[in-house]
Structure 1
Amino acid sequence: MRLVRHPVLCNYYVTYRCNARCSFCDIWEKPSPYIQLADVEQNLRDLRELGVQVIDFTGGEPLLHQQIDTFLALAHQMGFITTLTTNGLLYPKWAERLRGKVDMLHFSLDAADKNLHDQGRGVACFDFVQESIRIAKSLGERPDILFTVFSGNIDQVERVYHEIALPNNLMLLLNPAFSYNTVETGTPLTPTDLDYLSAFGKRRNVYLNEAFMQLRRDGGNHISDPVCKAASTTLVISPENELILPCYHLGEQKFKITRNLKQLYRSEEIRQLVALEGRLPACEGCTINCYMQPSFAVELNSYFWKALPSTIKYNWQKGTWKRLLKQVV
């Protein structure tokens, strides 16, 4: 049973450029412009009318955009929940200007071992994450540690939790790695790995969406009975001011936004593409977390109930439920 029939999330790519070279990502390889303020202002108004609640300003590295603080402030003032994930290299420079504008601030950190983390990210950013944590806390911010879990670093989860997350009273977000297109993430997580993460997710200050684990045990999305609702729950906007469908990672079709995102999204052509969500050949077996997260939240099924405890846990500890409540009332 569908509970919510409007999009709830916008993945807004401010640029594809990045100052890291992560081995598990190909975004940084793309040439890219930067989004324009006039487009952001118009698109945010349309996103509000479409029912979107959360704006994720993403990339690439979003802090490479010289107006990122302006975008965040505008979205925050309009009542959106704002999220931003950074590798930490530029956060010390931006910290003061971002203060109070990011509801969910994530610092990417994949190991407690400096060399292992920096090797995976392709640049020396471990020390910058540590410094970013210190600065953010001094400003009264409540960042999270976003840990992308592979078979090669799963043994680091315990150390990151005890050496970094708990001492700083930060939430540790466990993000199981996924493969897409030609991007490989190494040996897949085993059933034993999934069981380990499921148990770890029950600890204090740890977020793990258990529906992610169940989806993997079930073999991912199945086009015969899709759980993915990417196109109807998530709007993806490119740095070229295009609407990408059905999702960024497939990027089957792109539509130029000409000052009216709301009208474009409600057009018959888009509606026909939305109807194919989760049903395209490339959707078989998909486990891309950033699209499954909202998918689990809009339809009453077993994944909804699996996802609910961790969703409540995170929003309660972060206090973001207060801003979500304001959107409802």
Structure 2
Amino acid sequence: MRLISKPVLCNYYVTYRCNAKCGFCDIWERPSPYITLENAYQNLKDLKRLGVKVVDFTGGEPLLHRQLGELLEMAKQLGLITTVTTNCLLYPKYAKRFQGLIDMLHFSLDSPIEEEHNRSRGVDCFQFVVKSIEVAKSLGQRPDILFTVLEDNIDQIEQVYQEISLPNDLVLILNPVFEYNSVGDGLSEEALVKLQKWGRRKKVYLNEAFLELRRDGGNHISQPVCKAASSTLVLSPENELVLPCYHLGEAALPIDNKLFELYRSDKVQELITMEGRYAQCEGCVINCYMQPSFAVELNKYWLKALPSTLKYNWMKGTWKQLL
């Protein structure tokens, strides 16, 4: 049963450029422009009209956009919840620009061991994460530690939790790795069992619906769980609406300052009916689209996701804005 008919999230790619080369991601290989303030302002107003509550300014590395602070300020003035994930290479330099403008700030950290984290990211950024935590706290910000869980780092969660998350009073987000376009990998049942034990720990966010979906073999095109296109709008650096999601990208439609009208058009609505039904959608478990999918339809995944969703938004103080 559908609970929410409007889109709730926008993944706004401010650029595809990145200053890291993570082994589980291929976005950094793409050439890319940067979004403009003019386009962003109109798009953000239209997102608000469409019912979107959360805008994730993403990339690539979003801090490469020199006007990210202004983009965040626009979103906050419209009453939107903002989220940014960064590898921290630029955060210490620009942190003051974002002070008070990011509701959910995520610092990527995949290992407590400097050499291993740097190898995972393809660039020496561990010490920048350490410095960024210090800078953020000095500005009264509460970043989260975003830990991408792989087969070979799952046993390092405890060390990150004990040595970084708890001492700094930061939420530890556990993000199970996913596979797409021959990039990334899956997790074994043994890893899922280990991971599940973390869901109820203090200061830890783990969406247990992610684990349930993996055990069920992911999305099935005969009865799709994925509601990517109807729950989430994907906007590209070229100012296009990408459907049904970034990773599949079957269509990229020029917005031309008419996002509201474009989204409600027959063409887009027809594409939305295909969400989760393309051949490539079989077995998909991509977190950034499953999370909003779980939020808009009442099913077992909604029930599995509910405790962690409430817990996280309570910890971050964003629950009232989601009502």
TM-score, normalising length: structure 1: 0.97
- 1:259 aligned partner: 257
Query: Which has the higher mean CA deviation after the structures are superposed, 316-325 or 30-39?
Result: 316-325
Matches within 5 A, 1:49-198: 49-185=49-185, 188-198=186-196
Alpha-carbon displacement from aligned partner over 1:97-129 (angstroms, at most 9, x marks no partner): 100000000000000000000000000000000
Alpha-carbon displacement from aligned partner over 1:74-110 (angstroms, at most 9, x marks no partner): 1011100000000000000111110000000000000
- 2:280 aligned partner: 282
Report sequence identity in percent: 66
Alpha-carbon displacement from aligned partner over 1:223-280 (angstroms, at most 9, x marks no partner): 0110000000000000000000000000111100111001001111111100000010
Quick check: 2:229–2:275 contact (8 Å CA) kept in 1? yes
Write the distance in 2 (CA, Å) between the matches of 1:125 and 1:184: 20
- 1:37 aligned partner: 37
How far the C-alpha of 1:182 sits from its partner, in A, is 2.4
Runs of 4+ in 1 over 3 A off after TM superposition: none
Matches within 5 A, 1:229-248: 229-248=227-246
- 2:322 aligned partner: 324
- 1:271 aligned partner: 269
Write the distance in 2 (CA, Å) between the matches of 1:24 and 1:315: 27
Q: How many residues align?
A: 323
Question: Among residues 203, 206, 214, which one is paired with 2:204 in the alignment?
Answer: 206
Alpha-carbon displacement from aligned partner over 1:10-48 (angstroms, at most 9, x marks no partner): 000000000101111111101100000000000011100
Quick check: 2:177–2:184 contact (8 Å CA) kept in 1? no
- Amino acid corresponding to residue 200 of structure 1 in structure 2: W
Write the distance in 2 (CA, Å) between the matches of 1:177 and 1:189: 7
Structure 2 alignment gaps of length 5 or more = none
How far the C-alpha of 1:192 sits from its partner, in A, is 1.6
Quick check: 2:232–2:292 contact (8 Å CA) kept in 1? yes
- 2:290 aligned partner: 292
RMSD: 0.7
Write the distance in 2 (CA, Å) between the matches of 1:68 and 1:103: 14
Report the 3-state secondary structure (helix = DSSP H, G, I; strand = E; otherwise coil) of the residue aligned with 1:24: coil
Alpha-carbon displacement from aligned partner over 1:48-82 (angstroms, at most 9, x marks no partner): 00000000000000000010000001101110000
Write the distance in 1 (CA, Å) between the matches of 2:227 and 2:320: 26
How far the C-alpha of 1:322 sits from its partner, in A, is 2.9
Write the distance in 2 (CA, Å) between the matches of 1:74 and 1:163: 36
Report the 3-state secondary structure (helix = DSSP H, G, I; strand = E; otherwise coil) of the residue aligned with 1:200: coil
Report the 3-state secondary structure (helix = DSSP H, G, I; strand = E; otherwise coil) of the residue aligned with 2:197: helix
Write the distance in 2 (CA, Å) between the matches of 1:196 and 1:299: 28
- Amino acid corresponding to residue 61 of structure 1 in structure 2: E
How far the C-alpha of 1:183 sits from its partner, in A, is 1.3
2:213 is the alignment partner of 1:225: no
- Amino acid corresponding to residue 141 of structure 2 in structure 1: E
How far the C-alpha of 1:134 sits from its partner, in A, is 0.6
Write the distance in 2 (CA, Å) between the matches of 1:94 and 1:253: 35
How far the C-alpha of 1:190 sits from its partner, in A, is 1.2
